């Protein structure tokens, strides 16, 4: 089974030079691709494993520190998006030279999706019908920030509202049916 690749930002919406984007709001959060804090925590845990003073402690410590150093030194970090108080600036390339500004008014729905590759993605559905995916390891930071500004458009919130509305309609229909039976 072949894995379907998500279309890039350049294919979905028009990305322009970062200097040409008119940014009006205040910057709230910058979302990067990799999470350096996790790598540092793994490195510290690896150092503590050396304190066990046995072969397994040494092996796991070297392995943990090696993985953390690999992530810190070899995995390229880049800006994925900047979240402002009125819009999102999504970077189209890893160098941060081109980006697209997406107003909160343009977003119909958003969510965090888990990919089989291990990298989570932020998914945005726009009024134009476009769906944009941006991969990042900092999904919790992105989720918390988007919940502050457009929580009512998060997929799970929308689904809960639909389910609540269906439940309400079901109760109303049962009441109508019961009243009809009582009148007879």
Summarised one tens digit per residue, pLDDT across range 99-113 is 888 889 899 888 888
Of the candidates 86, 89, 82, the residue with the CA atom closest to the CA atom of residue 150? 86
Residue 1: the pLDDT is 39
Could you give the 3-state DSSP secondary structure of residue 77?
Answer: coil
- Kindly give, in sequence order, each residue whose CB lies less than 8 Å from that of residue 17, ignoring residues fewer than 6 positions away: 97, 98
- The model's pTM is 0.69
Chain position carrying tokens 């990799």: 34
pLDDT of residue 158: 66
pLDDT value of position 83: 92
**Chain center to CA of 63:** 29
Mean pLDDT by 10 residues, the chain (184 residues): 47 70 86 90 93 90 94 89 90 80 89 78 88 87 89 75 69 75 72
């Amino acid at each position: 089974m072949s894995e379907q690749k998500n279309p890039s930002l350049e294919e979905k919406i028009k990305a322009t030079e970062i200097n040409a984007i008119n940014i009006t709001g205040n910057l709230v959060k910058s979302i990067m691709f990799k999470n350096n804090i996790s790598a540092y925590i793994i490195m510290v845990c690896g150092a503590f494993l050396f304190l066990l003073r046995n072969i397994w402690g040494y092996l796991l410590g070297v392995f943990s520190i090696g993985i953390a150093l690999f992530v810190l030194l070899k995995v390229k970090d880049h800006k994925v998006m900047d979240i402002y108080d009125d819009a999102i600036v999504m970077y189209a390339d890893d160098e941060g030279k081109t980006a697209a500004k997406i107003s909160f008014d343009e977003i119909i729905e958003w969510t965090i999706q888990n990919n089989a590759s291990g990298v989570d993605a932020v998914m945005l559905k726009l009024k134009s019908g476009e769906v944009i995916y941006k991969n990042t390891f900092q999904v919790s930071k992105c989720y918390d920030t988007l919940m502050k500004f457009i929580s009512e458009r998060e997929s799970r919130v929308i689904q809960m509202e639909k389910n609540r509305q269906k439940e309400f309609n079901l109760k109303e229909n049962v009441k109508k049916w019961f009243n009809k039976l009582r009148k007879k």
